[in-house]
Structure 1
Amino acid sequence: MNAECNDTQHDSQHDTQRAATARKGALSRFTIIDASRVRAGPTAMRLFADMGARVIKLEIPRGAPGGDDMIGGRDHNRADYENLHRNKESLTLNMKDPAGREILFDLVRRADVFIENFRPDVKDRLGIGPDTLRAINPRLVYASISGFGQDGPYANWPGFDSIAQGMGGLMSVTGKPGEGPMRVGIPIADLCAGHFCAMSILTALLEREASGEGQWVQTSLLEAQIAMLDFQAAQWLVDKQVPQQVGNEHPLTVPTGVFATQDGYLNLAAIGQTMWTRLCEALGLDHLARAPGFDSDPARVANRDAVNRAVSEVFKTRTTNEWTAILLKAGVPCGPIHRIDEVFEDPQVKHLGMAWPVDLPGRGEGAFVGQPFRLSRYPREVSPRLAPEQGEHTQAILRELGYADEQIEQWRAAFVV
């Protein structure tokens, strides 16, 4: 840190404290340096930013070599970028430059968390690995997300969501039998790795309250995807049965899945004998409730096609709304199948407020996807802050660290910031 920064460190620390006080949210006391990109890391940081933490997103300066042209950048899909990076600040910083690393070290001294999702060897080559940064600030929680883990035979493979879905087994149990592996329609490995990373960071911050020290926390797309296999993985690990594709149906209970109605489709989950009996009564198929081959979950699984044929013919006689009302009254879980636009028009979704209203410049009223949980003492902000423009907060953050405007401009000219 330069001499001027030393002279003003005390004042800038107070500035940081005042800024934290001004921010709202359950996590407003935490400052996070976000060196992640694409989706998994930014997903983790979105949670912290939405909960009030100060998230400083590091970006490569314009004109510096190695600029980010990855899918998910602001120039590829602005709607996605705004939704993913809302409520954050942006600092341009070239960590390959010695001066850029010194700026990073200044940030680390004041931060609670540093997160990255480089290939495992990159952080050490840059001189910003966990040992280095935690030597500067022992209370720092250093978080790493990788494709396949920080070590092992696949450690340096590039990690992408679809690759993790395939290697993690998900694609082998998704889709209809005989149609080959099927990718899920969302980047579920990325998203789950992000959420597991956020959980691990929160765990480490809680542990720090007892020990006074930070630690290195890690997850990967592959681990996250395998963890999400849940009962499908247990079928193999416990029973040594390899799960297969069953399309929209459930592998262990019948009838469960999608059934055509008079005007569309219905999702049904008649799990267990009690639900099956209720379903038979609602459909006027009382004679099947205890019929041989229909009288238990294992029997119905063994006679899957016959069971599905019996109920399918009846479902075609009424509309989706009519069957939904009838089955819910009978205590049978069911529901319509919405397109994405219909999801956000659903009265329950509106009641839950999952569309977070925001005023989008040049577009008017819009919305982001809200967080799927709520805190009674920290109601959600009326409107989120838009994703920052690249380097939007560079000047303010560097001034906060005590650097003079003249020095900042010299760094800009050299693509340090």
Structure 2
Amino acid sequence: MTKDSNQSRLPLSPFVVLDLTRVRAGPTAVRQLADWGADVIKIEAPVDADHETEMGGVRLGPDYQNLHRNKRSLTVDLKTAQGKEVLYRLVKTADVIVENYRPDVKHRLSIDYETLRAINPKLIYASISGFGQDGPYANRPGYDQIIQGMTGMMSVTGIPGQGPVRAGIAIADTTAGLYGAMGIMMALIDREHTGLGQWVQTSLLESLLAVMDFQSARWLVAGEIPKQAGNDHPTIIPTGVFTTQDGQVNICVSGQVMWERLCRTLRRPEWLVDEKYLTNKARSKNRESLNSELNEIFAQNTNTHWIELLNQSGLACGAVNNVAEAFADEQVQHLGIRWPIQHPQLVGASIVGQPFRTNLHRASVKSYAPSPGQHNNEILSNIGFSNEEIQALKDCHVI
């Protein structure tokens, strides 16, 4: 299978990945592999002209372009015997296959782990689901907001007394995708020693419980049930949002040394001996009065003043931005996480890039999200289909 010459310089360029994923969690996992050089073949159902016209806006939309860059597209009807044969031939030389069907679907289609492992014992088979591959909820549909509610995420998000609030991003989908990608790369490293593939499994449910991290640990270790704290940190005070003359800023004062530094920087030495604020426990108990006093101080000057003053003092302080302001920030621009795409219909568009690099490698966008079947001939030719066989598959709507 051919690879873009630039992609061949990236660490995952030796690997071929078959992408059977949909929606968000699965595509997020595969995007990690594609951006770092893997030859990703996005396998999707054939579409008729009317359906493609209907989907055209979706495929040009920000979400689709952001999730499916750096891939090639092959359309295959996996419900047909000929379509399964196409997939089986691809599996023979693939390194990874990623799917996020409900667990029962893969077995109905005869594309489950055991079936494909018999074709290629070195195959890494990755499954991302809502609730896991087995257990009482295995065949339930799992969506991000449902998982946010079930894991307790919504119970710790929002203003106290407001009731449960969802996070403003698809955090369960995204984290499951990232954990899935981590599992795939772990399995590829293990294969170097064993010569064997394996079945990598993760779910939205367990991934979000893991990302809840210290909130989960508060219950598991200390028996505390975390509650909403709004913009305050649950345990470190003062941490939160404060209104200035021209906007809002976040501060985070972690630990007694930083607290004492804040008192001196804000010229409030009396706080250093005030019993209400002597310890973090006392400040947590009296957070409302402390926040009120801080708001009075921050209202006396601008965002820029406070951000510069506190950072110069070694205290963490930053603006509360909207997304446009975030990408306009000079440090964000310096880091280069905004990737321009050269798309004929989306002039001037950009997507969200990779948030890490090494001293030897930096990922980039090599191709925008493909249209369905854009690479049918190329991919099928590379695995031995003749022009006549490809045309026959088109004629019977298998591809």
AA paired with 2:283? R
Give 1:384 shift: 2.9
Corresponding position of 2:29: 44
Mapped to 2, the partners of 1:363 and 1:398 lie a distance apart of: 29
Corresponding position of 2:386: 404
Establish whether residue 345 from structure 1 lines up as the match of residue 328 from structure 2: yes
Candidates 121, 124, 128, aligned match of 1:138:
121
Establish whether residue 219 from structure 1 lines up as the match of residue 202 from structure 2: yes
Mapped to 2, the partners of 1:40 and 1:60 lie a distance apart of: 19
SS in 1 for 2:103: coil
Mapped to 2, the partners of 1:89 and 1:184 lie a distance apart of: 32
C-alpha distance 77-292 of structure 1, shift in aligned 2 (>3 A): farther
Give 1:357 shift: 1.7
Corresponding position of 2:7: 23
Candidates 321, 334, 338, aligned match of 1:355:
338
C-alpha distance 76-23 of structure 1, shift in aligned 2 (>3 A): closer
The 5 A counterparts of 1:243-392 are 243-381=226-364, 383-392=365-374
Mapped to 2, the partners of 1:200 and 1:397 lie a distance apart of: 27
Give 1:123 shift: 0.4
Structure 1 runs of 4+ off > 6 angstroms?
Answer: 67-70
* Deviation per residue, 1:48-94 (Å, 9 max, x gap): 11111000000100149xx8999x99627622111110000000011
Give 1:360 shift: 2.5
Q: Given that residues 56 and 90 in structure 1 are in contact (C-alpha distance below 8 angstroms), is that contact kept between their aligned partners in structure 2?
A: yes
Establish whether residue 62 from structure 1 lines up as the match of residue 47 from structure 2: yes
AA paired with 2:381? R
Corresponding position of 2:69: 86
AA paired with 1:112? D
Mapped to 2, the partners of 1:361 and 1:257 lie a distance apart of: 44
Q: Percent identity?
A: 48
Q: Given that residues 20 and 28 in structure 1 are in contact (C-alpha distance below 8 angstroms), is that contact kept between their aligned partners in structure 2?
A: no
Give the TM-score taking structure 2 as reference length. 0.96
SS in 1 for 2:58: coil
Give 1:365 shift: 2.1
Give 1:283 shift: 1.3
Give 1:366 shift: 2.2
Corresponding position of 1:151: 134
Q: 5+ unaligned residues in a row in structure 1: which ranges? A: 1-15
Give 1:199 shift: 0.1
SS in 2 for 1:360: coil
Mapped to 2, the partners of 1:154 and 1:68 lie a distance apart of: 34
AA paired with 2:32? L
Which has the higher mean CA deviation after the structures are superposed, 356-365 or 18-27? Answer: 18-27
Q: 5+ unaligned residues in a row in structure 2: which ranges? A: none
Mapped to 2, the partners of 1:237 and 1:22 lie a distance apart of: 47
Mapped to 2, the partners of 1:363 and 1:60 lie a distance apart of: 25
Aligned residues: 397
